[in-house]
Amino acid sequence: MWKEATFGNRRVLEREWRGCLTLLSASPYHESSMSNSSIPIKKEDLSNSGPRVRFAPSPTGFLHVGSARTFIFNWLYARRNAGTMVLRLDDTDVERNTDASVQSIFEGLKWLDLRWDEEYKQSERLTLHQKTAWEIFEKGMAYRDFTPAHTGEVEKSGTQGTWLFNPGVRELSRDESDRRAAAGEPFALRFRVPRDTGEEVRFSDAVYGEQRKLAEDIEDFALLRSDGMPTYHLASCADDIDLRITHVIRGQDHLTNTFKHVLIFEAAGGKTPQFAHLPLLVAPDGTKLSKRRHGPIVSVTTYRDAGFLPEAFINFLCLLGWSPKNDREQMSLEELKELFSLEGINRANAVINFKEPASTPEEMFDPKAVWLNAEHIRALPIEELSARLLPVVQQAGYPIDAAQMLKITPLVRERIQLTRDVLTVADFLLVNQLPPYDPAELVPQKGDAAMAKRVLEKARSVLATTEFKHDPLDQVLRAAAQELGIKAGQMFQPIRVAVCGRKNAPPLFETLEVLGREKTLVRIEQAIGKL
RNA sequence: GGCGCUAUCGUCUAGGGGUUAGGACGGAAGAUUCUCAAUCUUCAAACCCGGGUUCGAUUCCCGGUAGCGCUACCA
């Protein structure tokens, strides 16, 4: 049933009898570093009788946060219901699709680390689409439109604005239509939408409920372009039928398109899937997210690079337009998988509350996303968090090993919101030489430079012999404060600044323990020199 | 313009014919350990407008308004 074929430089498998079910071999699913690198090429699993859902991005840019959410909801639905997740690249728009975009989408999905079960590329299934279109034509439910392609935008600038069909062209006789086609005259194939019959197109949406629309309000949309390429509507439906998609979960911007799709499903004799439309993600100004207007904040990789944990990002996206209805906010992937249901999906658009003119990188994100990320960071076991922080620190150029990272991690865990924050919170533990700081910082509350100097000199002498562990350090330094006749805080602050280069830092004893005697004494010495 | 969808604190949301309209983020104030963070407590903050149905509507219905979407040989 399966044979190898070659499309471009990609090795693919195709179904012999139709040549339309094409599976790719190059995707993050396979590249995944997870386990064995030679995962067999995926095939349609006919033994799984659960729901089949698909994520169908069109590769015209990077992976958008809205698309990511759609992917996540589909994935959650499939996993929740023991179904199958299909990834389909809807790349029928040759003009706008780029390979870089395909890579970029894979890059985003790879970070999310949610796997799909089957993968298809629409441009390799053109024969199926065309076959479907011509079947509809043969049934008399589509017609050739020989009108030259027009620039649609101009057309609708007129005040009546309503284009439904070009009068006359629908009524062209089959004979004449065939003759002109045979003569090589270019044409688009259009769906013959029922007119003047009072017919209603209806479907039931899992989120928006019963939907109905007068057929005569639907325009005669194109199925095939004059170059023979299928349009999105046709390709999407033909593929959904062929791939036996049972649930179409997608953005609400397709809600009105669905009436056309129902028409195609019925004309093609396919089973109409269950639809569930998702409320759109919009910018704080209420407009649709766009890269041009809103910048990198709409790209998934921006979140990755800023230090979001994928599970926190997923958690955040899930909360936009969906609710478990039990006041839960922070949820693990497992919990999401258990709690997710289409009933919990909201109907109103959700604002993703980022700062329009991105001030500091940290402030540009939706505060809730940042908070959730911090929650997920704190929920991680130390070893796990340490393992995630290590590459961040290493990529920043610090020659640190896993053992050192594990010691530093407890000090930063409650002080970072994004993983990248480790670089600013633990900076003094990563460098040999502290960056310059203001000596005035060394002066304790209600004290003066002389007191700072006495504190540091005292510290220098006691720390030379004390064991560098939390409890002994605690004891010795408190005793020292008493000897000097000052408060513990007045004792700790100059040391903290001497060692960390700033006033706000992790607790002192733990810090000294991690830093070690040698560096501590050097830094105290340097601080004394500044006074 | 036509068609469709939506409307609860600043934001994400719960709720639903009678509630002090709940939670979370963010904001403010306070408690707390050596600073910071974390944690805890408290406070401010919402049912778009107008009709109708009803003993009673934020909730149900209609209208308005606003926002969004579709209206391409884009997806």
Residue A113 pLDDT exceeds 60: yes
Of A63-72, A97-106, A146-155, A447-456, the poorest mean pLDDT is in A146-155
- Comparing A159 with A183, the larger pLDDT belongs to A183
Look up the protein residue whose alpha carbon has the minimum distance to the C1' of B66.
A286
Residue A44 pLDDT exceeds 70: no
C-alpha A124: how far from chain center: 26
C-alpha to C-alpha distance for A273 and A249, rounded to whole angstroms: 10
C-alpha to C-alpha distance for A312 and A331, rounded to whole angstroms: 8
Mean pLDDT within A97-109: 94
ipTM of the complex: 0.96
Residue with tokens 């003119």: A357
The closest nt to A320, taking CA to C1', is B12
Going along chain A from its start, the domains and CATH numbers come out as: 2-124 (3.40.50.620), 128-149+164-278 (3.40.50.620), 291-430 (1.10.1160.10), 439-530 (1.10.10.350)
> What's the pLDDT score for residue A304?
97
Of A151-165, A206-220, A303-317, A350-364, the poorest mean pLDDT is in A151-165
Residue A291 annotated in active site? yes
- Comparing A132 with A40, the larger pLDDT belongs to A132
Å from A253 (CA) to B70 (C1')? Answer: 7
- Comparing A98 with A17, the larger pLDDT belongs to A98
Residue A219 pLDDT exceeds 60: yes
Calculate the dihedral angle through the C-alpha atoms of A131, A132, A136, A138, rounding to the nearest 10 degrees.
20
Tokens of A3: 């044979």
- Comparing A96 with A301, the larger pLDDT belongs to A301
Kindly report the number of other CB atoms within 10 A of residue A10's CB atom: 13
Of A178-187, A355-364, A368-377, the poorest mean pLDDT is in A355-364
- Comparing A1 with A461, the larger pLDDT belongs to A461
Å from A85 (CA) to B20 (C1')? Answer: 47
Kindly report the number of other CB atoms within 10 A of residue A31's CB atom: 12
Of A206-220, A353-367, A427-441, A472-486, the poorest mean pLDDT is in A353-367
C-alpha to C-alpha distance for A271 and A140, rounded to whole angstroms: 20
Mean pLDDT within A85-114: 93
Tokens of A401: 């090993």
Residue A15 pLDDT exceeds 70: no
pLDDT band at A20 (very low <50, low <70, confident <90, very high): very low
Of A129-133, A273-277, A289-293, the poorest mean pLDDT is in A289-293
Å from A351 (CA) to B9 (C1')? Answer: 15
Look up the protein residue whose alpha carbon has the minimum distance to the C1' of B7.
A348
Q: Are A491 and A455 in contact (CB under 8 A)?
A: yes
Average pLDDT taken over every residue of chain A = 88
End-to-end CA gap in chain A? 83
DSSP state letters, A179-192: HHHHTT---EEEE-
pLDDT band at A17 (very low <50, low <70, confident <90, very high): very low
> What's the pLDDT score for residue A287?
86
Tokens of A331: 């949820």
**Percent of chain A having pLDDT more than 70?**
88
> What's the pLDDT score for residue A292?
79
> What's the pLDDT score for residue A266?
97
> Nearest-CA neighbor of A72 among A283, A251, A238?
A251
Look up the protein residue whose alpha carbon has the minimum distance to the C1' of B70.
A256
Å from A350 (CA) to B26 (C1')? Answer: 17
Backbone angles phi, psi at A157, to 5 degrees: -75, -20
CA atoms within 13 A on the CB side of A87: 25
Backbone angles phi, psi at A8, to 5 degrees: 60, -135
Q: What angle do CA A157, A163, A169 make, to 5 degrees?
A: 130
Q: Is A282 helix (H, G, I), strand (E, B) or coil?
A: strand
> What's the pLDDT score for residue A42?
54
C-alpha to C-alpha distance for A171 and A175, rounded to whole angstroms: 11
Q: Are A453 and A531 in contact (CB under 8 A)?
A: yes
C-alpha to C-alpha distance for A374 and A313, rounded to whole angstroms: 11
Residue A224 pLDDT exceeds 60: yes
Q: Is A87 helix (H, G, I), strand (E, B) or coil?
A: strand
For strand B, the positions having any atom within 7 A of a protein Cβ are 1-8, 10-15, 22-26, 34-38, 67-75
C-alpha to C-alpha distance for A354 and A376, rounded to whole angstroms: 20
The residue type at A494: P
The closest nt to A507, taking CA to C1', is B34
Torsional sign, CA A120, A123, A125, A128: positive
Residue A422 pLDDT exceeds 70: yes
Residue A424 pLDDT exceeds 60: yes
pLDDT band at A43 (very low <50, low <70, confident <90, very high): low
Å from A211 (CA) to B62 (C1')? Answer: 19
Tokens of A501: 């280069």
C-alpha to C-alpha distance for A377 and A499, rounded to whole angstroms: 26
Kindly report the number of other CB atoms within 10 A of residue A21's CB atom: 22
pLDDT digits (tens, 9 = 90+) for A238-267: 999 999 999 999 999 999 999 999 999 999
The residue type at A223: L
The closest nt to A285, taking CA to C1', is B67
Contacts of A423 (CB under 8 A, 6+ apart): A392, A393, A396, A430
> What's the pLDDT score for residue A246?
97
Q: Is A345 helix (H, G, I), strand (E, B) or coil?
A: strand
Residue A58 pLDDT exceeds 90: yes
- Catalytic residue chosen out of the listed positions A156, A291, A446, A469: A291
C-alpha A418: how far from chain center: 16
**Percent of chain A having pLDDT more than 90?**
79
